[in-house]
Amino acid sequence: MRRSYEVLREIALREAGISLAPGREAMVVARLGARLRALALPSLDAYVAHLRAPGGRDELVHFVEAISIHHTAFFREEAHFTELAEALASWAGKGRRSFRIWSAACSSGEEPYSIAITAREALGERSSDMKVLATDISLQVLDRAARGVYAGSRLKAVPEPLRRRYFEACPGSRDDLFTVSESLRKHLVFRRVNLAQTPFPLRGPLDAVFCRNVMIYFDRSVRQGIVSEVERLLRPGGLFFVGHTENLNGLETTLLRRAPSVYQRAEAA
């Protein structure tokens, strides 16, 4: 079992950049339980053999799903949204009319919708050319994000006037479900992007990149790849948000630290 776990660690790192800690076998076995049952496999060893067999590549998607952590929330780490709103208002005040923001590990959509709400509120009528690109490695969460349907309990962090402006109660739903309004949805584009595979299939310039609560799972070389790509994609003055427990310490970067967990590409001279 230990050997199988080592192989799974190698596959997780190679395919998704995810570093599984050496002592987390129990967690991984628990998370893979549903896959073992679905494939009628008796053990982790059998699962590894299945993954490595010809045709095992199809299972890789499920493997990455099973080991990924998708926890997220609306307006999580709220200070970032205040920072973003101030920057957008300032850029709009200087005449900018086109805005591009990337939510790079968007999970089930709470982050990119929070970004879009923030931008709409900060920009008002100047938000007609504002787009939020929302990406993740997981097709399952991307599908949920694109559907944009949330239980009322998930919307507690959304102030009531904003909830009324940007969400609609799902007609006939008994479970207190809300759907993102069309007026907000039109700003979002969803795509699968694997952050462990550079160069990213994206073009800049971007005004802001949110890459939060995902770098903690990556080793240094994957984190370095992300930061170098973000430098390439951000326009001068553009912002890079990482999770509150994350930072760019130990990485080579020209990005400037603007606040804890907020970085900025230097303005053009």
Ligand X SMILES: C[S@@+](CC[C@H](N)C(=O)[O-])C[C@H]1O[C@@H](n2cnc3c(N)ncnc32)[C@H](O)[C@@H]1O
Give the footprint of ligand X on this chain (CB under 6 A): 16-18, 68-72, 76, 105, 107, 111, 136-138, 141, 194-196, 212-214, 243
Q: Which is nearer to ligand X, 92 or 262 (CB)?
A: 262
Work out how close the CB of 180 gets to ligand X at its nearest, in angstroms, rounded to a whole number. Answer: 17
> Of 9, 100, 126, 136, which residue is the catalytic one?
136
Work out how close the CB of 157 gets to ligand X at its nearest, in angstroms, rounded to a whole number. Answer: 11
Q: Which is nearer to ligand X, 72 or 92 (CB)?
A: 72
Work out how close the CB of 39 gets to ligand X at its nearest, in angstroms, rounded to a whole number. Answer: 21
d(CA 33, CA 26): 11
Task: Report whether 266 contacts 240 (CB < 8 A).
Answer: no
Work out how close the CB of 259 gets to ligand X at its nearest, in angstroms, rounded to a whole number. Answer: 17
Work out how close the CB of 127 gets to ligand X at its nearest, in angstroms, rounded to a whole number. Answer: 22
Q: Which is nearer to ligand X, 92 or 104 (CB)?
A: 104
DSSP secondary structure, 43-92, as one string: SHHHHHHHHHSTTTHHHHHHHHHHH------TTSSTHHHHHHHHHHHHHH
CA dihedral 158, 160, 164, 168 (to 10 degrees): 60
In sequence order, which ranges of the chain are alpha helices (DSSP H)? 2-16, 25-38, 44-52, 57-67, 79-93, 110-123, 139-147, 160-166, 182-185, 220-233
Q: Which is nearer to ligand X, 126 or 187 (CB)?
A: 187
* 219 catalytic per annotation: no
Q: Which is nearer to ligand X, 107 or 127 (CB)?
A: 107
d(CA 182, CA 193): 24
* 207 catalytic per annotation: no
98 φ/ψ angles, rounded to the nearest 5 degrees: -120, 130
| Residue burial 175-202, b: 16+ Cβ < 10 Å; e: rest | eebbbbeeebeebbebeebebbeeebeb
DSSP state of 18: B
The residues assigned a catalytic role are 31, 136
